[in-house]
Amino acid sequence: MSVLFALLISFDVANARGPGLPNVMVLATGGTIAGSGASSTTVVGYTAATVGIETLLNAVPELKTVANVKGEQVFQIASENMNNDYWLKLAKRVNTLLAQDDVDGIVITHGTDTIEETSYFLDLVVKSKKPVVVVGAMRPSTAISADGPINLFNAVILAGSDEAVGKGVLVALNDQINAARDVTKNNTSTADTFRTPELGFLGYMQGNKPYFYRQSTRRHTADSEFDVSSLDVLPQVDIVYGYANMNRVAIDAFVAAGAKGIVHAGVGDGSLARPAVEPALDEARKKGVVIVRSSRVGNGIVARNGEAKDDEHDFVVSDTLNPQKARILLMLALTKTTDTKEIQRMFFTY
């Protein structure tokens, strides 16, 4: 990076934030962005979560031109190993930091496999309008053309910007900005994997500056009713996947294992197979398990009283949330109520 280019970056960000650079905290959780491979051409079969936060930050010395950056290793895992305990720990740490006057924004480095779930969980429980940006990489840090450094650089700029304030938790990779609620991993391996298929990106990173073109209309972060500050566990909620020739075995097993909620990832508009599945869900509901109808399709609204008589069954529909995000909202809803009408309100709100 030339001295002139670095000065231009510093000037742009300083103007956006007023005198001085923003203070951005980078919380590291592992993932491919912190991964390493056997050689510079290893882009599959690498080992995730091997590189620590200081190494990540030192690999992008340009960060000091756009923000006062500090790093913290919260945990170090591949994101397929993400669980509720990690989420609670991360959320509490984020809220503690955002309450400090000397923190303007937070970047979270994360594995891409569950980045959409962690970001949506945080979108529902973060208690601040300050920017929170979740970032990852599709290639390990040791690879030719590793995407982690530029993704991290952009994420720090975004987290320190005025433009990102009040936008909810953001997912930023590949020069694209997505809303946590809507983004999903769209491809197993390409760098442009993160998409909001029908609703579209919120904006782009270009020339070391964020450009927003839309924003989410759903409640989030500081306006959310959910609070995990005193929670040590989350209710058990499981997902049952719909398919041709489906049976009730998984539903019965989850109920027997103590599920408080089940998300049914149905075919089409959340359709329920009869006679195998619908009776099993009815029986689960009568035992107190809250049932949410979602869809495996990945786009569109699951219509209430559309492919099932939800009022009669006392089911909830997921609106446009995919199954994995419907699970997160249902878990948090169950920390407040078991009233399905109230839970349905939450699904139409968040």
At 279, the amino acid letter reads P
Task: Check the annotation: does 224 bind a ligand.
Answer: no
Is-contact 32 63, C-beta < 8 A? no
Enumerate domains of the chain plus CATH numbers.
3-223 (3.40.50.1170), 237-349 (3.40.50.40)
Task: Let me know if 29 is a catalytic residue.
Answer: no
Count Cβ atoms within 10 A of the Cβ of residue 243 and give its class: 0-12 exposed, 13-18 middle, 19 or more buried: exposed
- Predicted pLDDT at 44: 87
Compare 7 and 45 and report the one with higher pLDDT. 45
Please tell me the number of Cα atoms within 13 Å of 324 on its side-chain side: 21
Residue 63 has pLDDT above 60, yes or no: yes
pLDDT digits (tens, 9 = 90+) for 71-127: 999 999 999 999 999 999 999 999 999 999 999 999 999 999 999 999 999 999 999
DSSP-derived letter for residue 19 is S
Distance separating alpha carbons of residues 119 and 170, to the nearest angstrom: 7
Q: Span 243-259, mean pLDDT?
A: 98
Which is catalytic among the residues 29, 32, 109, 340?
32
Write the CA distances from 184 to 31, 192, 198, 230, 325, integer angstroms: 17, 11, 11, 29, 10
Contact 138, 193 (CB under 8 A): yes
pTM of the predicted model, to two decimals?
Answer: 0.92
Condensed to tens digits (0 to 9), the pLDDT of residues 290-318 reads: 999 999 999 999 999 999 999 999 999 99
Strand partners, 210: 205
Tens digit of each residue's pLDDT (9 = 90 or more) over 164-191: 999 999 999 999 999 999 999 999 999 9
Q: How far apart, in whole angstroms, are the C-alpha atoms of residue 118 and residue 94?
A: 12
Residues composing the chain: 350
- Kindly tell me if the per-residue pLDDT of 239 is higher than 80: yes
pLDDT value at position 19?
A: 53
Element (H, E) at 341: helix 340-349
Q: What is the pLDDT of residue 117?
A: 98
112 annotated among ligand-binding-site residues: yes
Q: Is 32 a catalytic residue?
A: yes
pLDDT score at 43: 85
SS3 of the chain: helix, strand, coil, percent, to 5 = 35, 20, 45
Cβ(316)–Cβ(344) below 8 Å: yes
Whether residue 334 has pLDDT greater than 90:
yes
Q: Are strands 23-30 and 68-77 parallel, antiparallel or unpaired?
A: parallel
Give the separation between CA 282 and CA 308, rounded to whole angstroms.
12
Summarize pLDDT for 257-270 with one digit per residue, the tens: 999 999 999 999 99
Residue 314 marked ligand-binding: no
String of DSSP letters for 23-56 = EEEEEEEESGGG-B-SSTT--SS-BSS-S-HHHH
Kindly name the residue from 29, 65, 109, 112 that is annotated as catalytic. 112
Neighbours of 267 (CB within 10 A): 17
